[in-house]
Amino acid sequence: MMGAEFVALSLPPLLIGVFAAVACALPGNFLLLRRQALIGDAISHVVLPGIVLAFLATGVVAAWPMMLGAGIAALAAVVLIEVIRRLGRIEPGAAMGVVFTSMFAGGVLLLEQSDTSSVHLDVQHALYGSLESLIWLDGFGWASLLDWEALQGLPPELTRMALTLAFVAVFTAVLWRPLKLSTFDEGFAQTLGLRTNLLGLALVVVAAIAAVAAFDAVGSIIVIAMFICPPAAARLMTNRLERQIGWSVLFATLSAVLGYVLAGYGPLWLGFENAVSAAGMIATVSGLILLVTALAGPCRTRAGAPTET
Residues in region 67-126 near another protein by CB under 8 A: 84, 87-91, 93-98, 101-102, 104-106, 108-109, 112-113, 123-124
Among 117, 118, 187, 269, binds another protein (CB under 8 A): 187
Residues 266-305, interacting with another protein (CB under 8 A): 267, 272-277, 279-284, 286-287, 290, 294, 297, 299-302, 305
The yes or no reply on residue 192 touching another protein (CB under 8 A) is: yes
Angle at 111 between CA 110 and CA 117, to 5 degrees: 145
Residue type, 183: T
Which residues touch 125 (CB under 8 Å, ≥6 apart)?
A: 219
Residues 215-254, interacting with another protein (CB under 8 A): 221-222, 224-225, 227-229, 232, 235-236, 238-241, 244
Contact code string over 137-176 relative to another protein, x by CB under 8 A: -------------------------------------xx-
Minimal distance in Å, beta carbon 153 to another protein?
28
Among 5, 35, 142, 159, binds another protein (CB under 8 A): 35
Let me know: does 69 contact 54? Beta carbons within 8 Å.
yes
The yes or no reply on residue 265 touching another protein (CB under 8 A) is: no
Let me know: does 70 contact 86? Beta carbons within 8 Å.
no
Q: Return the closest-CA partner of residue 208 out of 290, 216, 108.
A: 216
Residue closer to another protein, measured from CB, 122 or 159? 122
How far, in Å, CA of 253 to CA of 293, rounded?
16
How far, in Å, CA of 134 to CA of 17, rounded?
10
Report CA Rg, the chain.
Answer: 20
